[in-house]
């Protein structure tokens, strides 16, 4: 042993050789993380390249399908390498319902470094900060949210995102560079987030003005803050809807102690999360429901019959609750195409996955919802669109083998807080559409349907359908793109 060591020393007898050796050792450590790989040795999974891990496989196709293939090959608990950081992928219902911990603030799936700081740092800028009517404010928010989701697709992401994944130890430096030397994708993302932040500040200012006016004995607050002529926001109890999450946060901090009081930045961040969580996911679900109904006319006819039997009255929560087949259509759409195909958690302690498998404390846990939804062991005929599996007559034969196998909104204490509202909005949109139109697939629609996964899972080519108005004297069918996508070459 001593002789071997002594024979190695001449290789370092020159300073340049020693420096080169040190650089090689550092690069090997940064790209390989041998101790980290040793800690995850009990979990099976595909080989991860130095620095890149399994990013080439994730980026070359649909990331959801790649995770599904890993689960099919290695089992319901497996690992992949997201750059140099491992993800523990879980598709076991008994484990998905466990409260592992919170989502991680530094989750690389949430976008490039430095973007979080832009929410607070440039809240006074952005298109949404300017005046205008409610429609223009709504369009500004819509475009901003769309831009954020587009930037979070891997093919559109900032160059700082892969750098952050490959060199997690250098994350503070990379985030500083992203904030001060942004590339085009990073700049677009920061601008979009600033626009959302600006609209949030306007809401907060309107709420504060209305409360101040009420406290001064003005009764119904006058002017823009109260929703008068020219107001951007409709007055419901003063500037902001009293039942909204924004009002709840603003009211909550009025009586809270200084330590528990939400800052402006925290209120804006929470509002931004709600906007992102409810914007694209609901649009994706409606687009895919339209696609499935257009390709299954018997299901569309049954939904239309249920809607027509309801009558033409005002849509209320009570009325929407009396539409079991419409609800079943949405449930089946969310089973086949959950907008968030996996949910991220961070383990607060070592987690026993069974059979000698352990996810170390601090692990990223990807709860692979889509793999459970499409597992033949959990759902009969998993690839078929069968809304009847959610109705009393079909639940026993076609429903999930495990009650926790269906989780498009998560399960347990960390279930999505807005799932009831999301279902209500989607059902209302379906009811209004199918009460008036016949929906069929348009010739522009590429088949089979291709999907891609970024922050959410969306149709890669959009969804194209034709709408035929059933009213007397209505114009002929028109094409409608129900999901954002590049237009076909012939359009």
Single out the residue of 270, 419, 266 nearest to residue 334, CA to CA.
Answer: 419
Strands (DSSP E) contained in 167-315 are: none
pLDDT tens digits for range 239-289: 455 556 677 777 666 666 666 677 778 877 777 777 777 777 888 999 999
Which residues belong to CATH 1.10.630.10 in the chain?
A: 267-340+374-481
Mean pLDDT of 128-153: 60
Task: Give residue 100's pLDDT.
Answer: 67
**Mean pLDDT lowest among 226-230, 270-274, 280-284, 372-376:** 226-230
Is the pLDDT at 474 greater than 80? The verdict is no
Q: Do 140 and 133 meet the contact criterion of CB atoms below 8 Å apart?
A: no
Is the pLDDT at 109 greater than 50? The verdict is no
Band (476; pLDDT cuts 50, 70, 90): low
**Which residue's structure tokens are 């299901």?**
299
Comparing 222 with 411, the larger pLDDT belongs to 411
Burial of 206 per CB tally in 10 Å (0-12, 13-18, 19+): buried
Task: Give residue 86's pLDDT.
Answer: 92
Task: Give residue 106's pLDDT.
Answer: 39
Tell me how long the chain is: 491
Task: Give residue 57's pLDDT.
Answer: 92
**Which residue's structure tokens are 């601008």?**
191
14 CB neighbour count, 10 Å cutoff: 10
Give residue 405's Cα distance to chain centre.
20
pLDDT more than 90, % of the chain: 38
Task: Give residue 195's pLDDT.
Answer: 82
Is the pLDDT at 379 greater than 80? The verdict is yes
Q: For residue 408, say if its preceding peptide bond is cis, omega within 30 degrees of 0.
A: no
Is the pLDDT at 347 greater than 60? The verdict is yes
How far apart (Å, rounded) are the C-alpha atoms in residues 454 and 281?
A: 12
Contact residues for 331 (Cβ-Cβ < 8 A; gap 6+):
387, 390, 406
Q: Do 264 and 197 meet the contact criterion of CB atoms below 8 Å apart?
A: no
Number of Cα atoms under 13 Å in the Cβ half of residue 186: 22
Q: Is 473 helix (H, G, I), strand (E, B) or coil?
A: coil
pTM: 0.77
For 143-176, letters b (16+ CB in 10 Å) and e give ebbebbbbbbbbebbbbbbbbbbbbbeebeebbe
How far apart (Å, rounded) are the C-alpha atoms in residues 158 and 181?
A: 11
Comparing 181 with 152, the larger pLDDT belongs to 181
pLDDT more than 70, % of the chain: 74
Q: Is 98 helix (H, G, I), strand (E, B) or coil?
A: coil
For residue 416, say whether it is annotated as part of any ligand binding site: yes
The mean predicted confidence, pLDDT, of the chain is: 78
Contact residues for 138 (Cβ-Cβ < 8 A; gap 6+):
none
Band (143; pLDDT cuts 50, 70, 90): confident
pLDDT tens digits for range 418-449: 788 788 889 999 999 999 999 999 999 999 99
How far apart (Å, rounded) are the C-alpha atoms in residues 491 and 487?
A: 6
CATH number for the domain running over 267-340+374-481: 1.10.630.10
Task: Give residue 217's pLDDT.
Answer: 66
pLDDT tens digits for range 54-78: 989 998 889 999 999 999 999 999 9
Burial of 219 per CB tally in 10 Å (0-12, 13-18, 19+): exposed
Give residue 91's Cα distance to chain centre.
18
How far apart (Å, rounded) are the C-alpha atoms in residues 328 and 335?
A: 10
Q: Is 486 helix (H, G, I), strand (E, B) or coil?
A: coil
């Amino acid at each position: 042993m001593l002789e071997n060591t002594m024979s190695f020393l001449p290789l370092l007898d020159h300073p340049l050789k020693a420096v080169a050796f040190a650089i090689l050792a550092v690069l090997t450590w940064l790209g390989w993380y041998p101790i980290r790989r040793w800690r995850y040795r009990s979990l099976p999974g595909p080989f991860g390249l130095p620095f890149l891990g399994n990013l080439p496989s994730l980026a070359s196709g649909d990331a959801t399908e790649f995770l599904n293939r890993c689960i099919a090959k290695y089992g319901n608990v497996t690992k992949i390498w997201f750059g140099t950081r491992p993800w523990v992928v879980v598709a076991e219902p008994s484990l998905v319902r466990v409260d592992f911990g919170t989502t991680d603030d530094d989750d690389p799936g949430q976008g490039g470094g430095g973007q979080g700081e832009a929410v607070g740092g440039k809240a006074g800028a952005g298109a949404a900060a300017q005046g205008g009517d409610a429609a223009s404010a709504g369009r500004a928010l819509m475009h901003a949210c769309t831009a954020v989701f587009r930037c979070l697709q891997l093919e559109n992401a900032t160059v700082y995102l892969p750098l952050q994944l490959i060199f997690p130890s250098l994350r503070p430096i990379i985030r500083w560079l992203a904030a001060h030397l942004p590339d085009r994708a990073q700049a677009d993302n920061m601008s979009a987030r600033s626009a959302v932040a600006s609209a949030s500040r306007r809401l907060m200012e309107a709420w504060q003005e209305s409360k101040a006016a009420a406290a001064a004995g003005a009764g119904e607050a006058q002017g823009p803050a109260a929703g008068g002529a020219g107001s951007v926001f409709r007055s419901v109890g003063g500037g902001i809807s009293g039942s909204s999450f924004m009002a709840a946060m603003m009211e909550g901090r009025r009586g809270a102690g200084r330590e528990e009081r939400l800052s402006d930045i925290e209120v804006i961040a929470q509002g931004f999360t709600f906007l992102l969580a409810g914007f694209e996911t609901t649009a994706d679900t409606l687009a895919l429901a339209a696609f499935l109904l257009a390709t299954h006319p018997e299901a569309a006819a049954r939904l239309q019959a249920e809607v027509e039997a309801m009558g033409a009255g005002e849509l209320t929560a009570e009325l929407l609750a009396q539409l079991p087949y419409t609800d079943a259509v949405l449930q089946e759409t969310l089973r086949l195409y959950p907008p968030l195909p996996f949910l991220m958690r961070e383990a607060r302690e070592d987690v026993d996955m069974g059979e000698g498998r352990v996810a170390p404390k601090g692990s990223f846990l990807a709860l692979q919802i889509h793999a459970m939804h499409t597992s033949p062991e959990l759902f009969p005929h998993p690839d078929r669109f069968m809304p009847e599996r959610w109705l009393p007559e079909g639940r026993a034969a076609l429903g999930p083998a495990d009650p926790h196998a269906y989780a498009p909104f998560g399960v347990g204490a960390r279930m999505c807080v807005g799932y009831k509202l999301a279902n209500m909005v989607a059902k209302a949109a379906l009811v209004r559409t199918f009460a008036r139109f016949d929906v069929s697939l348009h010739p522009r629609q590429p088949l089979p349907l291709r999907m891609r996964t970024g922050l959410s899972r969306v149709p890669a080519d959009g969804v194209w359908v034709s709408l035929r108005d059933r009213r007397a004297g209505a114009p002929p069918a028109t094409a409608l793109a129900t999901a954002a996508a590049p237009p076909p070459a012939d359009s």
